[in-house]
Structure 1
Amino acid sequence: MTDPHDDEIVRRELNTDREEPTVAIAEVVADLEGTQADELTTAYDCIDGMISELYSNPPSPEAQMTIEFTYSGYRITVEQSGAAKFVKVT
């Protein structure tokens, strides 16, 4: 079954080994908005900590843990595998 909003979802694979994973999220949002990442508002420190923890101490694959939050006009879902979905909030 397909999601009726599939055409609104942008999917990316994030590098789970990256030192600052929030920067990767800002880069994707900047790309989607046609701007530079440093022109966006700073991502919250707690988000970076949560994503870093998700990647460095991931729960077992069976847990299928995800983090979902809103940043710079996008609802973002990040999975422990590095799969990420970006949906523009209107």
Structure 2
Amino acid sequence: MNTPTRQAVDPGVSHLVVEAVAETEGVSPLELPPLYGCIDPEALDRLFERPSAAGRSEMEVEFGYDGYRVTVSDHGVVSIEALGDERPPEE
């Protein structure tokens, strides 16, 4: 499955996360649970508000949100991947 990828420009990477999941689900961003239920949106935005400095190693943040694994890269690129049914098989 191809996952939506977005580049952060403005108003912040946290908004891009919600928009990407909403687009994938085919719903309005307002229909999703609050992002702060799984990560601090303001802290996430601050981490990615400036381009990486020369010599700094790449940064990546990964977290779960509304059934998706969300990955935000050092340059504010947001990727999402649906989480499968990871429960162990019943005996």
Unmatched tracts of structure 2, length 5 or more:
85-91
**Which residue number corresponds to residue 43 of structure 2?**
50
* Contact kept? 1:65, 1:80, Cα under 8 Å: yes
The runs of at least 4 consecutive aligned structure 1 residues that moved more than 6 Å come to none
Stretch of structure 1 that moved more, 17-26 or 54-63: 54-63
Length-normalised TM-score, structure 1: 0.74
Show CA shifts across 1:21-48 (max 9, x none).
Answer: 3222111101101111000001017431
| Equivalent in 51, 59, 82 of residue 88 of structure 1 | 82
Q: What is the number of equivalent residue pairs in this alignment? A: 82
Q: By how many angstroms is 1:49 displaced?
A: 2.3
More helix by share: 1
| Cα distance in 2 between the residues matched to 1:11 and 1:48 | 19
Length-normalised TM-score, structure 2: 0.73
Structure whose CA Rg is larger: 2
Unmatched tracts of structure 1, length 5 or more:
1-7
Q: CA RMSD in A?
A: 2.1
1:25-64 alignment runs, 5 A limit = 25-44=17-36, 46-57=39-50, 59-60=52-53, 62-64=56-58
| Equivalent in 14, 37, 49 of residue 7 of structure 2 | 14
Identical aligned residues as a percent: 24
Give the SS at the match of 1:56. Answer: coil
Name the aligned partner's letter for residue 12 of structure 1: T
